[in-house]
Amino acid sequence: MITHILATCLSLVAFLGGLRLMRSGFERMAEGRLARLLRTAASTPTRGILTGAVSTALLQSSGAVTAITVGLVAAGSLDFASGLGLVLGANVGTTVTPQLLNLNLWGIVLPALATGLMLSLSPSLKRRPLGEGLVGFACLFIALQALAAALRPLATAPFFHEALATAGRQILWAALAGCALSALVQSSTATTLIAMALAGGHMIPLEGGIAIALGANVGTCLTSVIAAIGTPRPAQRIALAHVLLNAMGVAVFLPVLHPFASAVSAVSPSPGQAVANANTAFNAICTLAVWPFTRPFARLLTWMLPDARTA
């Protein structure tokens, strides 16, 4: 039992380390250019949604994109409605990695690891961030497989089995657990992948895995909230939009989670894939629901968080 617990902890550390390394490398590649790209490409809410989705899919950090958006809006480089579009798109872009890692990528992962190691040791400083990103991606995939394997025997332990069963039965508690874990590790992607591993190993019901993934979308908003502290009102509204979009979406989906899970599982080959598909569908539906009303939504946020009155 101690061996399984140790293996799980080591796999989790490697998993989170790989995710951090991948993000760090890709963010360094875009350093200095990402803010300019977001500012120029997101001239309208619709273009903002597309730009937010693509940039977040590449960086795999909706928190980073949202935090940069908060800074651009605070500096007056981006208007509030376009910044709101970036936030909407970021929610969709962050679902790419769970979909990608659910595939059998062993044929790609090992060459990526070897290439990444060579680039990381390259004398050229410009190549090192790409190398770090590739190494991080490979470590993330390998650690995810190790985590799933380590959790499987551990789930037979009475205390662990009961905890997982409770999370699966109590949908609200599962969503809250996903929210707390995502806020703690500052990654909805990491939390969603863990939920996929649990559901894919039949350690928790599909509904519990989806609830954890949905809750993770709320927990990741902590980054944008922290970034908005002490900023002008428009930037604070961006953070508020991020929280409202995800919290309201979860509030709408949880009461219909069972039919939603049934619909997703009907077109998914495995429970792990079903969790990934549910997470993608949730974020896409929430974004598409708000997209036609981006500017009215912006006015609502302005009403909820008006400009501070000056004496």
pLDDT of residue 33: 64
Which residue numbers in the chain have pLDDT < 50? Answer: 310-311
Q: What is the pLDDT of residue 190?
A: 77
pLDDT value of residue 104: 66
Q: What is the predicted pLDDT for the residue at 278?
A: 94
What CA–CA distance (Å, rounded) separates 177 from 154? 19
Look up the pTM and report it: 0.74
The DSSP call for residue 44 is S
Q: What single DSSP character describes residue 308?
A: P
Mean pLDDT for the chain overall:
79
Q: What is the pLDDT of residues 246-293, one digit of tens each?
A: 899 999 999 999 999 999 999 888 898 999 999 999 999 998 888 888
- 48 burial level (CB within 10 Å; 0-12, 13-18, 19+): buried
* pLDDT score for 264: 93
- Rounded Cα distance between 208 and 159, Å, is 17
